[in-house]
Chains A and B, each alone.
Chain A
């Protein structure tokens, strides 16, 4: 009888402790706001991308890149429980350029503290912003300055992804005397009638640890790999000889479908 009583007590204690544990977990919910860094680390296959170095596409073309720029917008962080934090729209436009390292690591402030396991964003400039009044297009969206080279003035809209380079497979360009290829992809669906829509929303999941955002703590770091060679393959192997240029034509859909899978989270780094 005594034994039973004791074991009952032990059980009770267990339950208590267990519950306490659970409670503890609950009350550990963090509060406040912190920052997150996202690094866009451009790659060419399994190598770090270096402008001017030689690489091979899936089709077999030898390529050297001179430009690799893209817009990232509408960033959303997600937690394991499915809840999300959407970065305020107007603070959510970035233009990453391979030739300007400072543009490839971005910091988002005022993110509610928490453990974030997913990251989603739009490649390009969403349609609402693409049709907004000129006064609302500042910074990297200013067509005359920040967006210089990334804006089509004859088919009003931003170039979402710009990839340029040289390849023996490309035709000779009379102006430069080089064999150049150019893939400028834009088109957000049109202003007052439908056109192609090449906007891509990318959803990525952190491979192992979550990004732990805490108040007064160094920002965790999403380290993304962006593989430019993915633009030349999956689903379609691009032959540079056949399609050396793509701008606002129908082929841009092929290019956009290809680059939709060029982003992965390589790792998350918590400090």
Chain B
């Protein structure tokens, strides 16, 4: 009898284990979950439906150093997961041969909603973005054609492409769209602020955070607008008065009125995407706020919102308002996203 009991115990244990295992392996691929409080994506997902194999391939490519000329650098070296895929401690990007670019590596998150890419909006489609990073002499300094060649001759990639696309053909569109599948999956929408906006049970902002939201809505949200906290437009926010180093949107549009205008960045996860601005000028959020309140520099294309009726420059912010704003900006950090093991190298 005892033996039988033991045996049945054993059996239940086994069954339980089996169950457990099942549950584990069953964490089936979720694909892209569109947040309820975000608008419809701009990226046409029907052109490039995200699959588990496509995402896996895209992730591997994102962390693949073969994409650079001398196999030293991957996309993930400048876009680091725990910093919302920005480049911590680097005012401007640090690429191949220790060369520095002229711009700060922005976060890669919520790319599906972005109508343009790069600080000057020079690239209109996520699929076309990697071509630039690969070819840029101060980033990866490689030709896309040669990258495709290297992938074709690699022991693993033909199989990964076959899993993703049905055949092992490696071509430009497949390569780029796999990277887009990975980058498209990088949706960040679970910060305390986002949970608060969605009125999720238990979601609260601190008193300071709420006060900060009020200041933000009044003084910042004309440019940092909507659910993505950006209007995706180009403005001169007065961080410089000489744009000869980098003329911003003008370099794309060739219109004088665009000199010194840069794309408004989204502020999700902003607490971890320092240094700030297109040239990485500021290291802390406090220095950004000090800039808006008292550091704005004048130039012909300065945004009118940074010029008060009496002619003073900047956005008036009291010390208290700055503290509130910082509390609010800290509520934009989405820890789930920053620690998501699906995305980390």
Binding site for B on A (CB under 8 A): 131, 133-135, 137, 142-145, 148, 151, 153-156, 187, 190-196, 248-250, 252
Contact = CB atoms under 8 A, between A and B. Distances in A.
B148 A144 contact: yes
B20 interface: no
Contacts of B255: 195
11 contacts: A133-B47, A134-B125, A134-B128, A134-B177, A148-B144, A148-B145, A155-B123, A192-B124, A194-B253, A248-B252, A249-B254
Residue among B144, B175, B177 having the largest count of chain A Cβ atoms under 10 Å:
B144
B225 interface: no
Nearest to A193: B253
Given A134-B177, A195-B253, A154 B116 contact: no
B299 interface: no
B173 A153 contact: no
Nearest to B253: A195
A249 B44 CA distance: 30
A143 B172 contact: yes
Nearest to A130: B124
B132 A135 contact: no
B173 A192 contact: no
Given A153-B132, A195-B252, A248-B251, A131 B124 contact: yes
Contacts of B123: 153-156
Given A153-B132, A192-B116, A134 B172 contact: yes
A193 B115 CA distance: 11
Contact of A134 (B135, B173, B252): B173
Contact of A153 (B131, B171, B175, B254): B131
Given A134-B125, A250-B254, A252-B254, 6 more contacts: A134-B127, A134-B128, A134-B172, A148-B144, A156-B124, A249-B254
A224 to B, nearest CB: 30
Contacts of B176: 134
Contact of B254 (A134, A137, A143, A195): A195
Nearest to A132: B125
Interface string B70-95: 00000000000000000000000000
Given A145-B145, A153-B132, A191 B116 contact: yes
Contact of A143 (B128, B136, B253): B128
B124 A191 contact: yes
Contacts of A187: 254
Contacts of B136: 153-154
A137 B171 CA distance: 11
A190 B253 contact: yes
Contact of A154 (B122, B172, B254): B122
Contacts of B173: 134-135, 137
Nearest to B143: A148
B244 to A, nearest CB: 14
Given A143-B172, A154-B122, A135 B131 contact: no
A145 B135 CA distance: 13
B118 interface: yes
Interface string B123-161: 111011001101110000001110110000000000000
Query: Which has the most chain B C-beta neighbours within 10 Å: A142, A143, A192?
Result: A143
A145 B128 contact: no
A148 B44 CA distance: 26
Nearest to A142: B172
A192 B115 contact: yes
A44 to B, nearest CB: 29
Nearest to A152: B122
Contacts of B148: 144-145
A142 B116 CA distance: 20
Nearest to A252: B254
A154 B118 contact: yes
A131 B115 CA distance: 13
Given A134-B177, A191-B116, A145 B125 contact: no
Interface in B242-277: 251-255
Nearest to B232: A192
A159 B291 CA distance: 40
Max chain A CB contacts within 10 Å: which of B44, B118, B127, B254? B254
B125 A156 contact: yes
B259 to A, nearest CB: 12
Contacts of B172: 134, 137, 142-145
A137 B131 CA distance: 14
B71 to A, nearest CB: 18
A254 to B, nearest CB: 12
A38 B44 CA distance: 38
Enumerate the 10 nearest inter-chain pairs by beta-carbon distance, A residue then B residue, closest first.
A144-B144, A191-B124, A153-B132, A153-B131, A144-B172, A155-B122, A134-B127, A135-B173, A250-B254, A134-B173
B124 A153 contact: no
A193 B116 CA distance: 11
Contacts of A131: 124-125
Interface in B95-125: 115-116, 118, 122-125
Contacts of B124: 131, 156, 191-192
Interface in B184-203: none
B151 to A, nearest CB: 11
A184 to B, nearest CB: 14
Contacts of A190: 253
